[in-house]
Amino acid sequence: MIVFDLQCDQGHAFEGWFDDLKDLETQIKKKLVACPVCGSEQVKRVPSAFAISKGRGQADHEKAAKLLGQSLQRYFMDNFEDVGPKFAKEALKIHYGASEARNIRGVSTEEEEKMLQKEGVDFFKVGTKPPEQPESSEEED
């Protein structure tokens, strides 16, 4: 996946994640990309800021990775609805149009992930561990 910086005809800047440049251009041409602020489908790619690091030590790289991880986590927290362990169920509902299309986040089992892949549901995993769940105390009758 590649992140491209985009801008609508109203001047709103946002990012989009695509397989490659051709995928971006195809989706823009088909008007599948819309501004998350105003909904405009008049979208164009704008130059991205980048930097090349030279001569940094391991500690600098670890600090940069931690900051990036925190930024991504904040982005997901602010822009994706937490559906918790119901992720696979909600993803299927969205995929088949039974629920409104929206960004969701949550947890799933390996079996659920295999099933989602088999059904053709697009999703991606972020390398964070789910929060610890308290163990349920089941009593025998």
Structure tokens at 11: 């001047």
Q: Supply the pLDDT for residue 131.
A: 54
Domain residue ranges in the chain: 2-45, 80-119
Q: pLDDT tens across 4-30, in order?
A: 899 999 999 999 999 889 999 999 999
The torsion angles phi and psi of 106, rounded to 5 degrees, stand at: 175, -160
CA distance 26 to 29: 5
pLDDT at 141: 42
Collect all residues with Cβ–Cβ distance below 8 Å to 134 and sequence separation of at least 6. Answer: none
Cα three-residue angle 86-118-122, rounded to 5 degrees: 65
Question: What is the sign of the dihedral through the CA atoms of 12, 17, 101 and 73?
Answer: negative
Task: Name the stretches of the chain with pLDDT < 70.
Answer: 49-57, 127-141
pLDDT of residue 22: 93
Q: What is the pLDDT of residues 36-46, one digit of tens each?
A: 999 999 999 98
Q: Nearest 5°: phi and psi at 60?
A: -65, -40
- Chain Cα centroid distance, residue 78: 11
